Amino acid sequence: MRKKIIAGNWKMFKDLRETEDLVRGLTSRLTFDLKGNQVIICPPFTSLALASKLIEGKPVELGAQNMHPEDEGAFTGEVSPNMLKSVGCSYVILGHSERRQYFGETNESINKKAKKAIASGLTPIVCVGELLEEREKGITEQVVGTQVRGCLKDVPEAEVERLILAYEPVWAIGTGKTATPQQAQAVHQFIRKTLGQLYNWTVAEKVVIQYGGSVKPENAAELLKQPDIDGALVGGACLKPDSFVAIIQSCL
């Protein structure tokens, strides 16, 4: 059975003092057995070093929210995969809809970053998801299928199971409108079918597909019960230890 991976995307929240409070609040509550499931936090770049220290010896792993696809160079304001690794990251969120919307990221640029992340030993969490108008037009599968194929282009079969996919319907992000467990399951199943076509069923069965979009303690259990939902990418509700831990507990 696939393990569940619960990741918290802090977005552009929490300065250093707040980071310390949030990480300590989280680790002090994680005293129960995770039963093989995983917890990841993805703070802003400025908090990674501190968070990395605070989670030492705790059942929490570290991820970043973006990276540049080159090792180094004259790219003002950017951060490389090796820099992320050196600060203790094992994961990196790529292609979040906010990056697509506000920073011009495309399936092509996300694909480049995903391949570089894998080559650098980081696990990418590649985000896909349709806009409300796309869902209303009935083209969700077309949009998500194109995103999955584009973001995974030339990622070899041997490496694709090292990658995590996150289905985040854009209309459900930060809106309080969650996809119903059935709506989410249908798209997750479609993504797994797409992976089966791109690679094969053995590989498709291994890839972790997270759901993201207004995941809260009240709806997490129902979503995580779905056969193709293997975890959650949590925004707002990961910013408070109690709600994030309640979401983590709902997959046990």
Q: Which residues are catalytic, by number?
A: 96, 168
Show the tokens assigned to 92: 């990196």
Residue of 37, 87, 89, 39 whose CA lies nearest to 65: 89
Contact call for residues 113 and 65 (beta carbons, < 8 A): no
Query: Which CB, 207 or 234, lies closer to ligand 13P?
Result: 234
CB of 235 to ligand 13P, least distance (A): 2
Structure tokens, 143:
């949009």
CA distance 145 to 148: 5
Closest CB 71 distance from ligand 13P, rounded Å: 26
Please tell me the distance from the alpha carbon of residue 219 to that of residue 147, in angstroms, as a whole number: 26
Helix (H, G, I), strand (E, B) or coil at 14: coil
To ligand 13P, the closest distance from the beta carbon of 224 in angstroms equals 14
Residue closer to ligand 13P by CB (options 7, 199) is: 7
Compute how many other C-beta atoms are within 10 angstroms of the C-beta atom of residue 35. 9
Rounded Cα distance, 96 and 234, in Å: 12
CB 149 within 8 A of CB 108: no
Nearest distance in Å: CB 244, ligand 13P? 11
What residue ranges bind ligand 13P (CB under 6 A)? 9, 96, 168, 173-174, 212-215, 233-237
Residue nearest to ligand 13P (CB): 235
Q: Which is nearer to ligand 13P, 47 or 214 (CB)?
A: 214
CA distances from 15 to 8, 188, 227 (A): 16, 34, 37
CB-wise, 40 or 79, nearer to ligand 13P?
Answer: 40
* Spatial CB neighbours of 33, under 8 Å, sequence gap ≥ 6: 252
Nearer to ligand 13P, 55 or 179 (CB): 179
CB of 72 to ligand 13P, least distance (A): 28
Closest CA to 235 of 133, 127, 150, 136: 127
Query: Between vectors from CA 106 to CA 100 and to CA 107, what angle results, nearest 5°?
Result: 120
Q: Which of 64, 173 has the CB closer to ligand 13P?
A: 173
We find the least distance from the C-beta atom of residue 175 to ligand 13P, in angstroms, to be 7
